[in-house]
Chain A
């Protein structure tokens, strides 16, 4: 590997710190954001996180699909914790049967 994991972690930490102090240093100079910029910023977390779920479905079997389905349903009513436990339980139980 070109860069050791240690370097990756430290640079990721630096990048994260920049997001935490950068808004104060840069964004606060402007009174208002352009609506398109604001819409784009608002879209970032959902857009990035989706790309980590969708391709995982390409190689998913029945147990994995069921786990995601149950999680999505539970998410409509419960919080992160109940969703996560429901999804994990579904996955573990079904994998005993369908590998």
Chain B
């Protein structure tokens, strides 16, 4: 730490400034996630959710991709435990964020940590890491400034989308029933720079189709996912490699 850093830290920024500092960073995230927040609400109604259910899910789960997975499986009448397990699996990446963020916020009081981890989304993690790597303090107020506006918008969008979704006369013509597969394809493509992406997608894709035809509907998710994950574990180079091409 340089002398200047010490001075910067000494002059404590007022809480409001800290909060607004964080809030400014989440603006682009709010804009780019808004269509999906509204879409979630609309599709939720299309898949048998009430406006209350949709809003509650956005307020308590607060993880877009996994919420869409929940809708899709609920619409397919999949058993509740399998829906919960699938949402857990899609959100499992948070475990890695959580372990990493824990080093940055370990000095917060316990209740603040408990609150902080609730809001741990992909952009929340990315911005916190950036700030920490720049040598700046990841404080609770700054963290909330980053998290709360996004959270509030996300909840409101679900309520709006669900309210409007009920008014759509012909969901099929608007393609509502097939928007989720397109969305999931986009998510799959998003991970394409990870090691072994191609073989994993191919394996999970073929395995899930086979399971869908020969075993039956709910099982294609678990069996297909397991096939790809097992492949990754088996093929992974176990000896330490020179420059690691890490995930995101």
Q: How many A-B residue pairs have CB under 8 A?
A: 278
Task: Pick the contact of B93: A44, A58, A81, A95 (CB < 8 A).
Answer: A44
Taken together as a complex, chains A and B put the C-alpha atoms of A35 and B238 apart, in Å, by 6
Interface band, chain A: 35 or more
For chain A, residues 2 to 61, give those with C-beta under 8 angstroms from any C-beta of chain B: 2-3, 5-13, 15-24, 26-28, 35-58, 60
Asked if B100 CB lies within 8 Å of chain A CBs, one says yes
For chain A, residues 38 to 93, give those with C-beta under 8 angstroms from any C-beta of chain B: 38-58, 60, 64, 67-68, 71-72, 75-76, 80-81, 83-84, 87-88, 91-92
Which chain A residues border B221 with CB–CB below 8 Å? 48, 51-52
Question: Is the CB–CB distance between B62 and A95 below 8 Å?
Answer: no
For chain B, residues 216 to 248, give those with C-beta under 8 angstroms from any C-beta of chain A: 220-221, 224-238, 240, 247
Which chain B residues border A60 with CB–CB below 8 Å? 178
Interface string of B173-207 (1 = CB under 8 A from A): 11100111111111111111011110011011111
Taken together as a complex, chains A and B put the C-alpha atoms of A26 and B221 apart, in Å, by 26
Which chain A residues border B204 with CB–CB below 8 Å? 46-48, 50-51, 54
Question: Is the CB–CB distance between A56 and B178 below 8 Å?
Answer: yes
Taken together as a complex, chains A and B put the C-alpha atoms of A24 and B195 apart, in Å, by 25
State which of B9-17, B113-121, B127-135 sits at the interface with chain A: B113-121
Question: Is the CB–CB distance between A40 and B102 below 8 Å?
Answer: no
Considering only CB atoms and an 8 Å cut-off, how many residues of chain B contact the other chain? Answer: 98
Task: Pick the contact of B183: A3, A5, A48, A84 (CB < 8 A).
Answer: A84
Taken together as a complex, chains A and B put the C-alpha atoms of A20 and B173 apart, in Å, by 38
Question: Is the CB–CB distance between A19 and B80 below 8 Å?
Answer: no
Counting chain B CB atoms within 10 Å of each CB, which of A12, A28, A36 scores highest?
A12
Task: Pick the contact of B228: A41, A46, A57 (CB < 8 A).
Answer: A46
Chain A residue with Cβ nearest B188: A49
Counting chain A CB atoms within 10 Å of each CB, which of B83, B96, B100, B208 scores highest?
B208
Chain A residue with Cβ nearest B201: A50
Question: Is the CB–CB distance between B225 and A44 below 8 Å?
Answer: yes
Question: Is the CB–CB distance between B80 and A39 below 8 Å?
Answer: no
Taken together as a complex, chains A and B put the C-alpha atoms of A51 and B209 apart, in Å, by 8
Chain A residue with Cβ nearest B49: A5
Task: Pick the contact of B173: A7, A9, A39, A92 (CB < 8 A).
Answer: A92
- Given the known inter-chain contacts A16-B87, A51-B225, please indicate yes or no for A46 contacting B98, CB distance below 8 A: no
Task: Pick the contact of A15: B72, B74, B91, B238 (CB < 8 A).
Answer: B91
Asked if B94 CB lies within 8 Å of chain A CBs, one says yes
| Chain B proximity of A48: nearest CB distance (Å) | 4
Which chain A residues border B168 with CB–CB below 8 Å? none
Question: Is the CB–CB distance between B89 and A44 below 8 Å?
Answer: yes
Which chain B residues border A54 with CB–CB below 8 Å? 204-206, 208-209, 212, 224
- Tell me the B residues contacting A by CB distance below 8 Å: 32, 35, 48-49, 53, 56-57, 60-63, 65-66, 69-70, 72, 74, 79-80, 83-103, 113-114, 117-118, 120, 172-175, 178-192, 194-197, 200-201, 203-209, 212-213, 220-221, 224-238, 240, 247
9 nearest A-B pairs in the assembled complex, by CB-CB distance: A23-B98, A47-B228, A39-B236, A24-B102, A43-B232, A13-B60, A51-B224, A75-B189, A23-B99
User: Could you pull out 7 A-B pairs where Cβ atoms are within 8 angstroms?
Assistant: A20-B98, A24-B113, A35-B240, A46-B200, A57-B209, A67-B175, A95-B172
